[in-house]
Amino acid sequence: MDSRGIILSKVMYERDRQDRLWGSERKYNNAWWNVIASEENGEVAREVYEQNEEKLLVELVQACAVYFAWAEALVQRGVHDSLRGNNEKNG
């Protein structure tokens, strides 16, 4: 498996783990998602500062999973139509 596949697999595993821990978080508004994501970004910054690449990878995967969940929440609220236009331009 290439590096992209490895990371996608780790992010999906983390998404599942987050759902088991917290249940459905899709009810949150964008301001709350921003708070959650900012906290994750702070953990990434800490590992950059501490120069610990093993922990940095863990925190990056967790941050990606939070952004993924936020994007899922938006799609579930009907925002997905804007993605189609984006894919057509980049595809």
- pLDDT tens per residue across span 25-77: 667 899 999 999 999 999 999 999 999 999 999 999 999 999 999 999 888 88
Are 37 and 70 contacting, i.e. CB atoms less than 8 angstroms apart?
yes
| Cα–Cα distance measured from residue 9 to residue 41, given in angstroms and rounded to the nearest whole number | 20
CB burial of residue 66 (10 Å; 0-12, 13-18, 19+)? buried
Residue given tokens 């990878």 in the structure block: 57
Residue given tokens 């800490």 in the structure block: 46
Position 70 scores a pLDDT of: 92
**Res 89 pLDDT > 60:** no
Position 91 scores a pLDDT of: 45
Position 90 scores a pLDDT of: 47
Residue given tokens 């009907």 in the structure block: 78
User: pTM for the full model?
Assistant: 0.83
